[in-house]
Structure 1
């Protein structure tokens, strides 16, 4: 079976352009982070797990999670864990958002075999370039 090659998504469709400079700056960084993660994991997954087009949405969502975690962590670094709101000092909502994305990211890591423990459950597919078999 020949190797499948997943096409990287157009991240500007996920993280839209915004007229607000602050939002656009965050979305631009998210586009970059998602792209870096895609280029990091897809080559490994194509060989180790034999992923194909059917897995595109899952891998795309994993990359979105990584980008959003980065965005939430940057907000926490800039504004702190506690922020001043109308009712006084409250927990920064970015902490909750980061935790939720991390929970989802952990699921994707297990699903795709991206952790040491998850990799033990995955057997790499055998790639057969022999086109002589009529059943290929």
Structure 2
């Protein structure tokens, strides 16, 4: 891709970059229900793009688990009795800890999304091999 764009720099190429086989790893059984649903969605998309291998399992699990936590926290924050500011035992007003937890999960999700090239700006910085299009019956005819 960089050759075609004229931005290739041979001094920055990794000629010995490992190229693990593409696969969809099995998710761990510790993932939350929402995390497992996100695993199914993201693993299919990443595999179609040629970006998922067995080595990526921990990173994808971490992203999905943070996604699952974020969803659970957001549901709690949508309850009618939720308050963004609460009072401590001494009467001090503080941010509800759920707000900080949701923000932390979002920050962590974003970090993993950028690792996989799943944000608009990070997609511009990756190159992925073409994969066979199983949905196109004419894909094998050149």
Same fold (TM over 0.5): yes
Alignment correspondent of 1:7? 26
What do the CA deviations read for 1:47-90 (whole angstroms, capped 9, x no partner)? 21431111100000000110111122222222221224312343
2:122 alignment partner, one of 100, 118, 122: 118
Q: Please list every run of 5 or more consecutive structure 2 residues that lacks an aligned counterpart in the other structure.
A: 1-19, 133-142
Q: Which has the higher helix share?
A: 1
CA drift at 1:127: 4.9
Alignment correspondent of 1:28? none
Query: Rg: which structure is higher?
Result: 2
Number of matched pairs: 110
Q: If the length of structure 2 is used for normalisation, what is the TM-score?
A: 0.68
Alignment RMSD:
2.1
Q: If the length of structure 1 is used for normalisation, what is the TM-score?
A: 0.71
- Greater RCO, 1 or 2 (C-alpha within 8 Å, sep 6+): 1
Q: Please list every run of 5 or more consecutive structure 1 residues that lacks an aligned counterpart in the other structure.
A: 15-30, 129-136
Alignment of 1:1-136 (within 5 A): 3-10=22-29, 13-14=30-31, 31-78=32-79, 79-88=82-91, 89-127=93-131
